[in-house]
Amino acid sequence: MTVQLHYTPAQQAFRAEVRAWMEANVPREKLDTLEGAAGFAQHVAWERQLAGGRWGMVTWPEEYGGRGCTLVEWLIFEEEYYRAGAPLRANQNGIFLLGPTLMEFGTPEQKARYLPPMAAGEEMWAQAWSEPQAGSDMAAIRATATREGDDYVLRGHKIWSSRGTYADWAFGIFRTDPASDKHKGLSFILVPLRHPGVRVRGIPQLHGQTGFAEIFFEEARVPVANRLGGEGQGWNIAMATAGFERGLMLRSPARFQATARRLGELYRQNADRADGTVRAAVAKAWLQAEAYALNTYATATRLMAGGHIGAEASLNKIFWSELDLAMHAAAMSLLGARAELLPHAPAAAGVGDWLEGWIFAQSGPIYAGTNEIQRNIIAERVLGMPR
């Protein structure tokens, strides 16, 4: 073998199968925003429809509702998914982040309990790591889990949990050793959100939708069996989850290639008003989306050959978040005087949903670990610069 960029007949057949299903099933009308209650419910219904076609999470083993696909097939799936204009994934925190983590660190019982309903779209997951005093400095976590018999009693305050308002479950890290500090003494625990002692309060985002939430744990009791991995192993497991998040799964290249394609169309529609700067930006968007796809295929084939994702996941996070911003900035300048209009404004015909994307793009360099933190990681752990 060598670098060769062709799909096998089996991969092409798989692509055709995904395409046919998507063409027949993707909702014709754009769903309401995933960040609002009504839209979230529509997206959950779509998750279930996907699962009905066994497309919930194609890389998982069949016993958990997957198809045992390779990562390259997953990329093909994603390409067809975004090509068809399918909705965003309501359960992305579950399927892309917790799922792979469970696969690696979960007991057989935990996998059997949590993975099938996740793939089926029956249980929606939120991530509960950040706290008011623990953002970039995540090891400053204060929320505690105190062992009482076969239970943990949870106390503390989590915040910025994406779609926490609508989710059924959350995974988080809690301090199980009260004498510990920093990365030690933390444990990774799964908590039902509609549960005694758990109070969820939505937080409106920049666009006004209640897209994230704070979660108060007021002596919420969960079984010790809800702990993923060993007691005190929470940090390492969370870092593995973060690796999936930044490195591969959370933002598949197809999503950005689809945006780059739409940006090209927007450019052609507005070419008469565009200047050389925008023109250059649109071409660059295409190139960078391709580069991101190529880089992801490189990572996928490396993982398939037995490799691992290390600190270089941070390179990805920076690249896709800045690419997303740049693409939407180009779109905003192409829309010019109409860029500010909300999609339902009468004069907004044809502006599409660029504004929504532009707003969301602002958060890319912040969530999943800010880009400043990613740069620290690259400098120290990829390049070996002194701490």
Partner 1 sequence: MDFTFTEEQRMMATAVRELLDDVAAPAVLRAAAGAPELNEGPAAGGDDPQRWARLVELGLPGMLAPEVVGGLGLQDIDFVLVAEEVGRAALPENLVEHAGIAVPLLAACSAPRAQAWLTRAAAGEVRLAVGHPLNATVLGAAASDALLLFQGDEVHLVERAAATLQRQASVDRLRSLATVTWTPAAATLLAGGAEGAALRELAFARGAVVNAAQALGLAERMVRIAVDYASTRQQFGKPIGSYQALKHHMADVQVQLEYARPVVYAAAARLAEFAAGVSSGAGTAGATAATAPALLARLNAVVSGAKLMAMEAADLAGRKGLQLHGAMGYSWEVDLHFYVKRAWALAGSWGDRAWHQRRLESLVLDGVVTDDLAVLHHEHG
Catalytic residue list: 245
Closest to 49 measured CA to CA, from 120, 150, 97, 139:
120
* Residue 166 · residue 181 · CB < 8 Å: no
The encoded tokens of residue 227 equal 């702990």
Binding partner of 315, given ligand FAD, partner 1, none, CB within 5-8 angstroms per partner class:
partner 1
Count CA atoms within 13 Å of residue 74 on its CB side: 27
* Residue 290 · residue 257 · CB < 8 Å: yes
Closest to 174 measured CA to CA, from 222, 213, 212:
222
Candidates 11-19, 226-234, 347-355, 368-376 — which segment interacts with ligand FAD by CB under 6 A? 368-376
Give me the residue label for tokens 């391709």: 290
Classify 61 in phi/psi space as left (phi over 0), alpha (psi -120 to 50) or beta.
beta
Candidates 94-102, 178-186, 241-249, 363-371 — which segment interacts with ligand FAD by CB under 6 A? 363-371
Closest to 299 measured CA to CA, from 256, 251, 247:
247
- 282, 313, 331, 355: which one binds partner 1 (CB under 8 A): 282
> What string marks each residue from 26 to 65 as x (binds partner 1 by CB under 8 A) or -?
----------------------------------------
- 113, 207, 221, 261: which one binds partner 1 (CB under 8 A): 261
- By CB under 8 A, residue 81 contacts partner 1: no
> What string marks each residue from 305 to 344 as x (binds ligand FAD by CB under 6 A) or -?
----------------------------------------
> What string marks each residue from 161 to 180 as x (binds ligand FAD by CB under 6 A) or -?
xx------------------
Candidates 82-90, 130-138, 145-153, 328-336 — which segment interacts with ligand FAD by CB under 6 A? 130-138
The encoded tokens of residue 128 equal 């509960």
Output the smallest distance, CB 266 to partner 1, in A: 11
How far is the C-alpha of 273 from the C-alpha of 73, rounded, in Å? 40
The angle at the Cα of 23, spanning 330 to 246, to the nearest 5 degrees, equals 50
How far is the C-alpha of 324 from the C-alpha of 360, rounded, in Å? 9
Write out the residues near partner 1 by the rule CB under 8 A.
Answer: 1-8, 11-12, 15, 19, 72, 83, 257, 260-261, 264, 267-268, 271, 279-280, 282-283, 286-288, 290-295, 297-298, 300-302, 305, 312, 315, 318-319, 372, 374-376, 378-380, 382-387
